[in-house]
Amino acid sequence: MSAEPSVASSSTPATQHKKTTRGGTRHFTEGGPVKKDGIQQAKTEGKELTKEEKQRLRKEKKQQKKSKEKKDEKASQESEKEKKPVSSASPASQPPTQPITPKAPSAVPTLVPVPASETPAPADKPAKSKAEMKAERRARQEAERASKQGKKGEVGQQAAPGKPKAPPSELQPVVKRLPEHVQVDNPEVLKKLAKKLERQQIPLRSDYGYKVSLFSHLHQYSRKAPLTQQLSIPSTVIHPAIVRLGLQYSQGIVAGSNARSVALLHAFKQVIRDYTTPPNEELSRDLPNQFNFLNQCRPLSASMGNAIKYIKKEISNIPSQCKEEEAKSKLLNCIDRYIDEKINLAAKAIAKSSIEKISDGDVILVYGCSSLVNHILCEAFEKNRKFRVIVVDSRPRLEGREALRRLVQRGISCTYVLISAVSYILPEVSKVFLGAHALLANGYVMSRVGTSQIALVAKAFNVPVLVCCETYKFCERVQTDSFVSNELDDPDDLIVTRKGKTQLEHWQEVPSLGLLNLVYDVTPPDFVDLVITDLGMIPCTSVPVVLRVKNVDQ
C-alpha cells in the first residue's frame, strides 16, 4: 500500500485547482517579474529551492489568484499593494462566487496558510507607508459597506472588523475568531468550510437529526453514514492509512484519548514512509488535508492536537538540505520517541506516584474506562496492595464493562454499579481515581460525560478525588462550562430495545423531541483534590504553571 498522494496529483491540491481553472495562464504582479524569473530559472535548472524561494513561490501563486479576480480593482492602489483583499472563493464553486467577484473589496479573510506564508516574509514586499495602507483599508471598508447594503448576507461577516490578518505594523485590535467547529449554526462559516474542504477534495459530512437548541452550534453526525462512503476511490489526496484511521474513529473502533493519539501517530508514520517530496514543496503542506479529513470523521481531541503540533514542529525543524531518506528516518524516530516518552514512560511514572496514594484496605472508585487508571490499578495490584475497586458505568457507551473485564482478569475484586447509584455507594469509598481527556489552562478537567457528576458527589461526601493525566494532554484552552465546546455523538445510540419494544425508534417524527448524546464534560478544580502527572503530584490550580514550564522548555 504505497500510494503517494502528493506525487500522483501535483504539488498541492491548491495549485492543481489553479492550473485547471486558469488553463495554465500566469498573471504577473508588478513587483513580481524579476523574482519570478529567478525562480523559473532555478526550476528549469532543476536546483533544489531554498525555503525562502519556496515561500515566495507559494505567495506568488496566491497573489496570482487574487490579482486575477481583482482586475477591476482601483488601479492606483494596485501598484503599491501586493496583499489584496479578495474573495478567496475556490474557483470551482462558480455560482456563489459570481456575485462576489464584481464586488471588489470584499474582505473575506484569507485562509490559514496564506497569512502563515505572508507574514514571515515581509522583506519580500516593498515597504509601504502606514498612511498608504490606512488609506487603502479605509477605502476598502467604505466600498464594502456600500456593497453590503446592496447585497445582503453575501459577504463574509469579517468585513466589518476589517482584515483580521492585518499587516504586522497594524494597530487594529486583533480579532479572535471562534473555531469553526463551534459555529455550526452560522451558515456563512459552514459555507466557507464546505469550500475549503471541496478544494482539498475532502467530502463534507452532513449533520443528522434534530439538535437540542443549546448545542445547535456543534456538529452531530450519524454513525450509519460514514465519511468514507462519499470518498472517491482511489482517494488522491488522503493516504489510505488515514482513511482507515478516520473510519476507525468514526465507528468508535478506536476510542479513548491515548488510543486515538497513538493510532494517529502510527498512521502518520506510515504516511511519512510513503511520502515522496515533490521538487518544490514540503510535507507540511499536505498535512492539513489529512487532519481536516480526520476532523470530519471525528473531532480531534486535545491530546491529538498536541501530537499534531509536535509533528508539525519537527517537520519544520528539519534542515532543508537534509536528504529525504534521512529526514524521513529522523521524523520516524521523533514520533517513536514522542510515543515512548509522553505516553508509555509517563504511564510508568504516574503509576509509581499513584502507588504511594493507594494504601491497604482502600476502596477505590473508577469511572468508565481510562487506560491510565487501569494501568495504575494493575500496577498497584502487582505490588501487593490490598484494595478493591468499584467500577461506575453509564449509558450509552457502557465503557465500564471494558474496565471491569480488564481488572477482573488480573484478579482484582470489583463491584459494578451504574452512575445512578453513585450516591448510594460513595459512603463505602475511600478514594476516587478519574482519568482525563484534557486538562485546561484554568485548571478545569475535561473528561467523559459523567465525570463531573462523580466528582461533585465525592466532594459532598468528602472523599478525595484524584485525576491522573499525562502532561501531553494539557492544553492552552480555557473553558468553564460544557456547552461552549463539546462533541455530540450519534443520537441513535440512545435508542434501546427492552422487552421487545423500542420506544424511541421514531424519534425523528416527533417534532418537539430531541436526543442528546454528549461525549465530554468539564469538572471545576474545586472538586479535584490532586492531579497526578508525570511531573509529579500537583494541585489542580497548578496546571498553568506546568504549561508555562513546558513552554519554557520548548
Partner 1 sequence: LDQHLVEYFRAQMMKDPDMASAVAAIRTLLEFLKRDKGETILGLRESLTWATDCLTGVDSSVAVSSGGELFLRFISLTSLEHQDLSRCKKVMEERGELFLEKISMSRTKVAKLCHTFIKDGAKILTHSYSRVVLRVMEKAAAEKKRFSVYVTESQPDSAGRQMAEALRKLNVPVTVVLDAAVGYVLEKVDLVIVGAEGVVESGGIINKIGTYQMALCSKAHNKPFYVVAESFKFVRLYPLNQQDVPDKFKYKADTLKTVQNLSEEHPMIDYTPPSLITLLFTDLGVLTPSAVSDELIKLYL
- Return the C-alpha torsion angle 540, 545, 547, 553, nearest 10: -140
Q: DSSP string of 41-81?
A: HHHHHTPPPPHHHHHHHHHHHHHHHHHHHTTTS-HHHHTT-
Q: Which residue do the cell numbers 481527556 mark?
A: 437
CB of 430 to partner 1, least distance (A): 9
CB of 537 to partner 1, least distance (A): 5
User: Which residues of this protein are in contact with partner 1, per CB under 8 A?
Assistant: 357, 359, 431, 464, 466, 529-530, 537-539, 541-542, 545, 549
CA 208, chain centre distance (Å): 21
Please identify, using beta-carbon distances, which residue of 96 and 464 lies nearer to partner 1: 464
Q: What are the beta bridge partners of residue 521?
A: 447
User: In this structure, are residues 225 and 189 in contact, taking their beta carbons and an 8 Å threshold?
Assistant: no
CB of 447 to partner 1, least distance (A): 20
CB of 125 to partner 1, least distance (A): 44
Name every residue whose Cβ is closer than 8 Å to that of residue 553 and which is 6 or more positions away in sequence. Answer: none
CB of 524 to partner 1, least distance (A): 13
Please identify, using beta-carbon distances, which residue of 379 and 529 lies nearer to partner 1: 529
CB of 465 to partner 1, least distance (A): 9
CB of 542 to partner 1, least distance (A): 4
Please identify, using beta-carbon distances, which residue of 111 and 538 lies nearer to partner 1: 538
Please identify, using beta-carbon distances, which residue of 283 and 351 lies nearer to partner 1: 351
Please identify, using beta-carbon distances, which residue of 232 and 551 lies nearer to partner 1: 551
Which DSSP helix (H) or strand (E) runs through 364?
strand 362-367
Cis peptide before 113 (omega within 30 of 0): no
DSSP SS3 for 435:
strand
Task: Summarize the chain as % helix, strand, coil (round to 5).
Answer: 50, 10, 40
Please identify, using beta-carbon distances, which residue of 297 and 440 lies nearer to partner 1: 440
Please identify, using beta-carbon distances, which residue of 253 and 545 lies nearer to partner 1: 545
- Supply the angle between the helices 257-274 and 302-317 in degrees, to the nearest 10: 30
User: In this structure, are residues 278 and 11 in contact, taking their beta carbons and an 8 Å threshold?
Assistant: yes
DSSP SS3 for 118:
helix
Please identify, using beta-carbon distances, which residue of 73 and 529 lies nearer to partner 1: 529
CB of 388 to partner 1, least distance (A): 18
